[in-house]
Amino acid sequence: MSLIKSVEELFTKHYGGTAKVVSFAPGRVEFIGNHTDYNQGPVIGAAINMGVSVALQRCEQTVFRFTSGLYPTVEVTDSSKQLVGKDSWVNYPLGVYNALLSRGLKPSGGFEMSIDSDLPHGSGLSSSAALELASAVALSKAYELDLSNEELALVGREAENNFVGVPCGILDQGVSACGKKGELVHIDCSTNSFSNIKLGEGYSIWIFNTHKKHSLVDSMYEKRHDECFEAAKELGVGYLADLTVAAFDSGKSKLSPDVAKRAEHVVYEIDRVNKVQELLLGADSCVKDVGALLFQSHRSSRDLFENSVPELDYLVDILESMPAVLGARLTGGGFGGAAMALTENTFTKVYAESVSSAYRGMFGEEPKVIHCWASDGARLIRS
Binding site for ligand ADP (CB under 6 A): 52, 68-71, 89, 92, 115, 117, 124, 126-128, 131
User: Whole-angstrom Cα distance, residue 331 to residue 340?
Assistant: 6
Residue 61's contacts (CB-CB under 8 Å, 6 or more residues apart) are: 109, 110
At its nearest, how many Å lie between ligand ADP and the CB of residue 284? 36
Residue 351 touches which member of Mg ion, ligand ADP, none, C-beta under 5-8 Å by kind:
none
Residue 114 touches which member of ligand ADP, Mg ion, none, C-beta under 5-8 Å by kind:
none
**Cα maximum dimension of the chain:** 68
Distance of CA 61 to the CA centre of its chain: 35
Q: Which is nearer to Mg ion, 128 or 331 (CB)?
A: 128
The interface with Mg ion within residues 159-188 (CB under 5 A) comprises: none
Q: Which is nearer to Mg ion, 128 or 296 (CB)?
A: 128
At its nearest, how many Å lie between ligand ADP and the CB of residue 90? 8
DSSP classification of residue 37: G
- R_g (Cα) of the chain, nearest Å: 21
At its nearest, how many Å lie between ligand ADP and the CB of residue 183? 22
Q: Which is nearer to ligand ADP, 34 or 128 (CB)?
A: 128
Q: How many helices, marked H, and strands, marked E, lie in the chain?
A: 11, 12
Q: Which is nearer to ligand ADP, 68 or 297 (CB)?
A: 68
Residue 137 touches which member of ligand ADP, Mg ion, none, C-beta under 5-8 Å by kind:
none
Angle at 65 between CA 61 and CA 68, to 5 degrees: 160
Residue 89 touches which member of ligand ADP, Mg ion, none, C-beta under 5-8 Å by kind:
ligand ADP
DSSP classification of residue 229: H
At its nearest, how many Å lie between ligand ADP and the CB of residue 86? 10
Q: Could you tell me how many residues make up the chain?
A: 383
User: Whole-angstrom Cα distance, residue 271 to residue 42?
Assistant: 9
CB atoms within 10 A of CB 361: 8
Give which of 40, 9, 4, 10 is closest to 22, Cα–Cα. Answer: 4
Query: Amino acid identity of 59?
Result: C
Binding mask 123-142 for Mg ion (x = CB under 5 A): ---x-x--------------
At its nearest, how many Å lie between Mg ion and the CB of residue 122? 10
User: Whole-angstrom Cα distance, residue 260 to residue 353?
Assistant: 39
Strand order in the sheet with 203-213: 325-331, 336-344, 203-213, 368-372
Q: Which is nearer to ligand ADP, 25 or 260 (CB)?
A: 25
Question: Crossing angle, helix 171-178 and helix 127-142, to 10 degrees?
Answer: 50
The interface with Mg ion within residues 10-49 (CB under 5 A) comprises: none
Q: Which is nearer to ligand ADP, 50 or 231 (CB)?
A: 50
In order of 49, 79, 82, 175, 251, the CA distances from 374 in angstroms are: 7, 35, 34, 10, 39
User: Whole-angstrom Cα distance, residue 96 to residue 178?
Assistant: 17
Residue 71 touches which member of ligand ADP, Mg ion, none, C-beta under 5-8 Å by kind:
ligand ADP
Residue 98 touches which member of ligand ADP, Mg ion, none, C-beta under 5-8 Å by kind:
none
Give which of 205, 157, 187 is closest to 48, Cα–Cα. Answer: 205
Q: Which is nearer to ligand ADP, 138 or 326 (CB)?
A: 138
At its nearest, how many Å lie between ligand ADP and the CB of residue 95? 11
At its nearest, how many Å lie between ligand ADP and the CB of residue 270? 24
Residue 316 main-chain phi, psi, to 5 deg: -65, -40
Q: Which residue is nearest to Mg ion (CB)?
A: 128
Q: Are strands 110-117 and 325-331 parallel, antiparallel or unpaired?
A: unpaired
Residue 359 touches which member of Mg ion, ligand ADP, none, C-beta under 5-8 Å by kind:
none
Could you list the active site residues? 172
Q: Return residues touching Mg ion (CB under 5 A).
A: 126, 128
